[in-house]
Amino acid sequence: MTAEIMTGTPERRVSRRETVKVITGASVGTVLEWYDFFLYGSLAVFFSAHFFPSGSATAGYLATLATFGVGFVIRPLGAVLFGRFGDKAGRKATFLATIIAMGISTAGIGLLPGFETLGWASTILLIALRLLQGLAMGGEYGGAATYIAEHTEPGRRGYSTSWLQTTATVGFLLSLAVVLACRATIGADDFAAWGWRIPFLSSVLILIISVYIRATLSESPVFTRMKRENRASASPLRDTFADRANVKKMLVVLFGAQAAVAVVWYTCNFYTLYFLTSTLKLPTMLTYGYMGAALLFSLPLYIFFGWLSDRIGRKWIVLAGCALAVATLQPIFQQLTVAVNPRLAEFQRTVKVELISGACSRALFAAPVSDCDKARDFLTQAGISYSLTPAKSAHEPLDIRIGENRVSGFDRAALQDALDRAGYPRAADLEAVDRPMLFGLLALLMIWGAMAYAPMSAYYVELFPAKVRYTSVSVPYNVGAAYFGGLAPFMSTAFAVQSGNIYNGLWYTIIVGGASVLFGAIFLKESRGNDLSQ
């Protein structure tokens, strides 16, 4: 069978076999991009102490998440640089360059000496490598989505590009699998000391395979036709940003879809992983197993919702997934606590933890100095919600009230003893974990994420003209991923730390996602069936 790609003058038909090769070639490289990028998020809890000065564990973890966010913040610049190149020189050459840059930067993190060896130079080099990763990611997605869509007939674009949408989950799943295998074969102390480097270095093998496959692909037929007819843009950036109608569409995509999709997807995947391990005290290896099973469950959902968007349209599937997530995140995470650590849920429900002090700092990255700061850091690491009450005087000693127990000042042993006597569980009781309930809740998060993410490639590509499509798709996608989604793990953790409530981090996603869904419902247009040759 063959697929007619373009309307107008007769064109070469692309066979289904070639379409499969295109999807595979574009997707396998994107899997590597996501694998490399997610490794940092998956291993942040292990190597935060290697690249930042010792002090507060919470501050170190937040600094690591902030550095993770730096890679996202630079992505819009990558979208502009590689988008211009992709609209001017071609789709294929551009996303071949992005994957090489990603592979080099990831291997570099695996080889980078720690803070004890290089001091602040180690931190600076880590940030530089994250910036290179972010630049590469900024140019990857728009090119891969455009490349696949321009090879596919109109009635199958949602289905074909949905395979690309699985790559984020496959990359995340692959990163978890590699980390899990390393942790199963390397002792806990050795993994924390040096074993975390192996997953970064192993990406070189995937890089070699990905570069080989992408090098064998042909250029997009739409771009080839534009070049032959002299319709390609001579100045993609000018044609993208000087056209008011095009800029308006990019803004609508950013604020009406991408902002919501980004925060929902990252919360359903990354923040869930952090919440299960750091807050609910589920063992890391077991958490990876549960998340891996949930991710496997989600893979066919992306294909289904992509296929469905070919029949009923893209817009309302994307917005429905985001809206359902926004409406259910709070109850889902509260029920996750009940399912995974019922003793912690009971402790939080029946025991009030209150800090009374006039000397609490609001700085997120500073090492704790006052007794109040140290107590907050301790309680945050323990996954305990607490309230903070100002003392009458800044000179009054810290007063910690845990139910009927009281601790004056910060004494780690005394505070832990008071928590133990009040019924606080130091770790989740694996015999008490309600596995069916846990999997059911994770499945809901995966469904919402797949609904929001699956039709997205086809939707965005169909909205923009061919001569500036690479740039026009890449910019709003990466701005949304960077400034809304990429900072979601950090913002959610910071919200929880600052408020003292383990569930308040979800309000970042709820507020951003809710506003975006409302904006999109009003201003977004349906794109299904649009002609990509124009």
Tens digits of residue pLDDT in 193-240 = 888 889 889 888 888 888 888 888 888 888 888 888 888 888 889 999
pLDDT for the residue numbered 6: 43
Contacts of 247 (CB under 8 A, 6+ apart): 240, 241
Instruction: Write down the pLDDT at residue 60.
Output: 60
pLDDT at 100 (0 to 100): 87
Please provide the DSSP assignment of 304-348 as one string. Answer: HHHHHHHHH-SHHHHHHHHHHHHHHHHHHHHHHHHHH-HHHHHHH
Distance from CA of residue 289 to its chain's centroid?
Answer: 19
Rounded Cα–Cα distance for residues 502 and 246 (Å): 41
C-alpha to C-alpha distance for 18 and 324, rounded to whole angstroms: 37
Tell me what pLDDT residue 4 has: 44
The predicted pLDDT at position 9 comes to 36
Collect all residues with Cβ–Cβ distance below 8 Å to 450 and sequence separation of at least 6: 298, 301, 302, 304, 305, 321
pLDDT score, position 447 = 96
383, 503 in Cβ contact below 8 A?
Answer: no
Give CA–CA dist 269/34, Å, rounded: 13
Q: Which residue has the tokens 């973890």?
A: 61
DSSP string for residues in 106-148: HHHHHH---HHHHTHHHHHHHHHHHHHHHHHHHHHHHHHHHHH
Q: Which domains does the chain have, with CATH numbers?
A: 13-341+432-523 (1.20.1250.20), 344-422 (3.40.30)
Q: Report how far residue 451's alpha carbon sits from residue 325's, in angstroms, rounded to the nearest whole number.
A: 10
pLDDT at position 228, please?
86
pLDDT at 7: 36
Report which DSSP code applies to 405.
Answer: E
* Apex 245 CA angle, 244 and 249, nearest 5: 115
Q: Which of 76, 64, 73, 75 is nearest to 39 (CA)?
A: 64
Distance CA 381, CA 393 (A): 27
Phi, psi of 426 (to 5 degrees): -70, -25
Tens digit of pLDDT per residue, the chain (534 long)?
A: 444 444 333 345 566 777 788 888 888 877 877 787 777 767 776 766 777 666 555 556 666 666 666 777 788 999 999 999 888 888 888 878 888 888 888 888 888 887 778 887 887 888 888 888 888 888 888 888 988 998 888 889 999 999 999 988 888 888 878 888 888 888 888 888 888 889 889 888 888 888 888 888 888 888 888 888 888 888 889 999 999 999 999 999 999 999 999 999 888 887 898 899 989 999 988 998 898 899 899 999 999 999 999 999 999 999 999 999 999 999 999 999 999 999 999 999 999 999 998 877 766 655 667 888 888 888 888 889 999 898 887 778 899 999 999 999 999 999 999 999 999 999 999 999 999 999 999 999 999 999 999 999 999 999 999 889 999 999 999 999 888 887 777 788 778 877 889 899 899 999 999 999 999 999 999 999 888 877
